[in-house]
Chain A
Amino acid sequence: MHISEGVLSAPVLIGGAAVCAGGVAIGLRKITHDEIPKVGILTAAFFVASLIHVPLGPSSVHLVLNGLIGLILGWAAFPALLVALFFQAVFFQFGGLTVLGVNTVNMALPGVVFYYLTWPMVRSDNHSLKAVAGVIAGAGAVAGAGVLVALSLFLSNQAFLGPAKAVLIAHIPIMIIEGIITAIAVSFMKKVKPELLGISPKEGG
């Protein structure tokens, strides 16, 4: 998911950085005083999630969590993922500093899109609908990130269909896992702490 340094062309890098700056500006404006710890904790969660590897069959997968973060933070996912990706680039050499903007957009944008798409379902009182919203957001955000990675490569004069297919096929397992995890997390939060999802406790029941 992290695109390395020296792969993308300059216009893509600059465009990614510009979109990222816009997203971060909107996100920062939306964070209220009380939401700061929530954003911080999810930033830390994203920073560490990519280190937790689940051995599955001959390979291993790791969590991305961009769907869950998008669902909880909305636009604030942009600043959260920017910070997390920055530290991943500095400490782990995942991605890189010039690709930071593109990588942030690739992961945060699908999260924000699925936040808006699944919002009515998350707010509903129907338990199975909430779980379905979690599955859609969790799996969809990973798939969306995959498509955006392929698109970034395509815009840098590389083939689109081949890499896009490879990215999507390779991420099917993690899409399934993220879908399940996000669904469980959404159901749990709605029961225990609905404010995390931006729902007042009374509404959440």
Chain B
Amino acid sequence: MAASFRKACFGLSFLILWVFSFPTPAFCHRINVFCWVEGSHVRCQAKFTPGGPVKRGKIAVYSQQTRDKLLTVETDDKGEASFEIPRKAIENHWDLKVICNAEMGHKNYWIVRASELLGTESQEPLPEQSPAASEPLTQETRISDRQLEEVVSRVLERELAPIKKDLAELKQNRITVQDVLGGLGYILGLVGIAFYLSGKKEKRG
């Protein structure tokens, strides 16, 4: 008896472990996708709200202006994906609409503005300074303005990436206590209206 009980317990715990080891938390209601620009790439993160990353979610990138599909990528196990900014988008000043499609009818999108893309992609050659105008430099310290700009922007990008990510995350709608209380208040109000109408009907009847 005790042995069979133990067996049943073991079986049950195994089942529960198996069930909870599934990668897709499908118990959520919404997915959030947000993107930020990092150098020549756009990085995206897709999350279930709440529940964790969207693993192997399909991300499709469209031009917001022409509705053309530019490319598709898949998120990794952390729910992250990254793609190179399409040349066409920069040339035509397109906003990018990044649509993430997870299983079971969950879908959401994020718009990457053309200004964000252009900001990091200004690759126009800088006017070369004439060597005579600058101070004579030794061979080791001689860095052209162009190289300097590249180094600075690379460092800045690295430093700013987490901040950009946080900002993108902050832009999303969050559920606040006010939302919950507001909804409950409305429901209470509807109950009041229902009472009023039904009372009126009963009086008449």
- State whether A169 touches B22 (Cβ < 8 A): yes
- Interface residues on chain A, number (Cβ under 8 Å): 52
- State whether B195 touches A36 (Cβ < 8 A): yes
**B26 partner residues in chain A, CB cutoff 8 A:** 166-167, 170-171
0 or 1 for each of A141-184: is its CB under 8 Å from B? (1 = yes):
00000000110110000000001001101111110000000000
- State whether A33 touches B198 (Cβ < 8 A): yes
- State whether A95 touches B19 (Cβ < 8 A): no
Known interface pairs A6-B107, A91-B179; A56-B29 also in contact (CB < 8 Å)? no
The reply on A13 being an interface residue by CB < 8 A is no
- State whether A44 touches B187 (Cβ < 8 A): yes
Known interface pairs A61-B27, A93-B173, A169-B22; A40-B199 also in contact (CB < 8 Å)? no
* Chain A contact residues, CB within 8 Å of chain B: 1-8, 31-33, 36-37, 39-40, 43-44, 47-48, 50-51, 53, 56-62, 83-84, 87-88, 90-95, 149-150, 152-153, 163, 166-167, 169-174
* 29 A–B pairs (Cβ distance < 8 Å), ordered by A: A2-B30, A3-B104, A3-B105, A3-B106, A5-B107, A6-B107, A33-B199, A37-B191, A43-B187, A47-B183, A47-B184, A47-B187, A53-B50, A56-B20, A58-B20, A59-B20, A59-B27, A59-B52, A60-B25, A83-B187, A87-B187, A91-B175, A93-B30, A95-B29, A163-B103, A166-B103, A170-B27, A171-B27, A173-B20
